[in-house]
A and B are shown apart, each in its own frame.
Chain A
């Protein structure tokens, strides 16, 4: 019986984790509040009951410690999934992530593998304050030795979770909190929910998806901004502007070819990202296109990102700095009016 079910991203991701854990006794999850609480963002909901306290392992508040622990367990043949709740916390354990987990494979010349998944809850827009609302894509994508995936919908969430767990590499899996469909963020964004097959499936790292075909401009977006871009596209369509929206899904490896192909078609590039603007994903996309073939650009590319300020708490201020559909629309109109 293959009944179509419409799942939220959190549920779809969890389904993948559950399936892999059932199949492979080497897979286990660890992090704060995973066992009874099911993870702060529901990533482990129900798993504690299914697999027990030894495989859904509650840790003390020791991020450096347990990321190191997971790295060692991975080196010794297990396949751990670390639940790090908030992406903002990578500051606490950055060394363990970038100098430890990410470097062992290279420094050992392949003798040692680190088949580990690091799950991070990313993003703001719900007034959680400057230390709990960041989308630190660049800090992770910039450092060599880790694959980085940031799915925008449930179908991708499940496929990439299967792929991440099965990969022999260190994979950082960034789930946006507002896209997750976890109850306390209000009604799940419809665009994030998809019909999910109950069988497992994997998706390839390094392949972007054209989520909306168009001809007038290319918007490259990641994670939450994919939905902002799609909303902008719908609004712009009423004005006769037909934009193409590309979701790279994986920051590392990044599918630069597909992005170039799209800009070669449209001639105009807008990049959206919830991370801080400078030194980030938006710059990487623009630089890549310019390096590969600057002649495809008919106008100066535009970045729509969080400005380089700490994210404020008060609603009007926070909404003002986010890369919303409104800001993306304005960017497209500006670019095309020149």
Chain B
């Protein structure tokens, strides 16, 4: 969680560099949009820590915490976000399209688009006699996208080893869940698919881990898919630059920070002393800072690379390039 948070903190700082005085989204070290994961780290750490190497993950347009939790190298993530040649995809994907084949990990910018593939990965595992599970991360607003319904239904019909993790931060860009979603809890929608619905509202990585383990046991046994709904908080707006004016002040004041809460819990339980926690935090910060420097210093890709990559056996359009 700390690594992810610090990475996102550095990304936030670097994002604004060179973009002002008149905000130019395309300028600076990190161009484009960034959907940071500040506040949702527990969701990733709690769930992903229960997975094995056989399992598959599809993540959203807000993928950083999930990628870090899965073990993708922070150096490579940062290089990709900065569009560098040694990024995960050589700069072709960028922040929303993080891929790591060896981690069975991909993320996508189209809402709910990860549903189909994660279920397909689950189907493939079963066809191959592999115990793997397909896990799709979604935001609570994405649950209203048609693909969610279609895929949950198929997962229910085929009894796929599939878990949909809904990270409920209450906000689909600027629209609160109560204004977009007909039910109070997305985990209740599981009934529509003959799926198991689980709900965790503590934003605590251990509680989340326990729920995910239960979900995995259920789905691996062939009992069908699971919707695991996690209440969490989106601390930095939909994307960097979004001041979240639409969030009522009382709600903002009630936001929780899982990195602070979990640290407090560990100290209270005597797992870590205050100074051990400080030390851990400093160590992680230093590692991430090193990765940042590495990424900043890394070269940009050759522009010509843009023209290849559509196909495994590459044929370029002969007349129009």
| Contact in complex: A147, B154 (CB < 8 Å) | no
Q: Determine if B315 is an interface residue (Cβ-Cβ < 8 Å).
A: yes
Q: Determine if A66 is an interface residue (Cβ-Cβ < 8 Å).
A: yes
Task: Out of A73, A111, A291, name the residue touching B123 (CB < 8 Å).
Answer: A73
| Contact in complex: B120, A72 (CB < 8 Å) | yes
Task: Out of A54, A60, A109, name the residue touching B157 (CB < 8 Å).
Answer: A60
Task: Out of A64, A73, A105, A144, name the residue touching B312 (CB < 8 Å).
Answer: A105
A contact residues around B151 at 8 Å (CB): 62, 65, 68-69
1/0 contact trace for B304-321 toward A, CB 8 Å?
Answer: 000001111101011110
Report the Cα distance A259→B317, complex, angstroms.
14
Task: Out of B99, B116, B117, B119, name the residue touching A111 (CB < 8 Å).
Answer: B99
Q: Determine if A336 is an interface residue (Cβ-Cβ < 8 Å).
A: no
Q: How far is the CB of B96 from chain A (nearest CB, A)?
A: 9
Q: Determine if B97 is an interface residue (Cβ-Cβ < 8 Å).
A: yes
Binds B, one of A43-51, A96-104, A195-203, A238-246: A96-104
| Contact in complex: B318, A257 (CB < 8 Å) | yes
**Chain A, residue nearest B151 (CB):** A65
- Given A106-B310, A111-B89, A169-B311, answer yes or no on A72-B118 (Cβ-Cβ < 8 Å): yes
A contact residues around B113 at 8 Å (CB): 68, 95-96, 99-100
| Contact in complex: A59, B154 (CB < 8 Å) | yes
Q: Determine if A28 is an interface residue (Cβ-Cβ < 8 Å).
A: yes
Q: Determine if A11 is an interface residue (Cβ-Cβ < 8 Å).
A: no
- Given A28-B127, A109-B89, answer yes or no on A68-B315 (Cβ-Cβ < 8 Å): no
Q: Which of A49-105 contact B (CB under 8 A)?
A: 54, 59-60, 62-78, 80, 95-96, 99-100, 104-105
| Contact in complex: A76, B121 (CB < 8 Å) | yes
Q: Determine if B134 is an interface residue (Cβ-Cβ < 8 Å).
A: yes
- Chain A count of residues within 8 A CB distance of the other chain: 52
Size category of the binding interface on chain B: 35 or more
A contact residues around B89 at 8 Å (CB): 107-109, 111
B contact residues around A104 at 8 Å (CB): 99, 106
Report the Cα distance A74→B120, complex, angstroms.
8
- Given A64-B146, A68-B147, A112-B101, answer yes or no on A75-B120 (Cβ-Cβ < 8 Å): yes
B contact residues around A74 at 8 Å (CB): 120
B contact residues around A308 at 8 Å (CB): none
Report the Cα distance A71→B121, complex, angstroms.
8
Q: How far is the CB of B73 from chain A (nearest CB, A)?
A: 14
Report the Cα distance A70→B116, complex, angstroms.
8
Q: Determine if A110 is an interface residue (Cβ-Cβ < 8 Å).
A: yes
Task: Out of A28, A54, A95, A206, name the residue touching B110 (CB < 8 Å).
Answer: A95
Q: Determine if A288 is an interface residue (Cβ-Cβ < 8 Å).
A: yes
Report the Cα distance A291→B309, complex, angstroms.
24
**Chain A, residue nearest B122 (CB):** A72
| Contact in complex: A76, B120 (CB < 8 Å) | yes
Report the Cα distance A74→B127, complex, angstroms.
12
Q: Determine if B203 is an interface residue (Cβ-Cβ < 8 Å).
A: no
Q: Determine if A237 is an interface residue (Cβ-Cβ < 8 Å).
A: no
Please list 22 pairs of residues, one from A and one from B, whose beta carbons are closer than 8 Å in the complex, sorted by A's number.
A66-B116, A67-B116, A68-B119, A68-B120, A69-B119, A71-B116, A72-B56, A72-B122, A75-B120, A99-B108, A100-B110, A105-B310, A107-B97, A108-B101, A109-B89, A110-B312, A111-B89, A112-B99, A147-B311, A205-B315, A288-B320, A291-B319
Q: Which 8 A-B pairs rank lowest in CB-CB distance, beginning with the nearest? A: A68-B116, A72-B120, A65-B150, A72-B117, A62-B150, A76-B124, A108-B99, A73-B120
A residues lining the B interface (CB < 8 Å): 28, 54, 59-60, 62-78, 80, 95-96, 99-100, 104-113, 144-145, 147, 167-169, 205-206, 253-254, 256-257, 287-288, 291-292
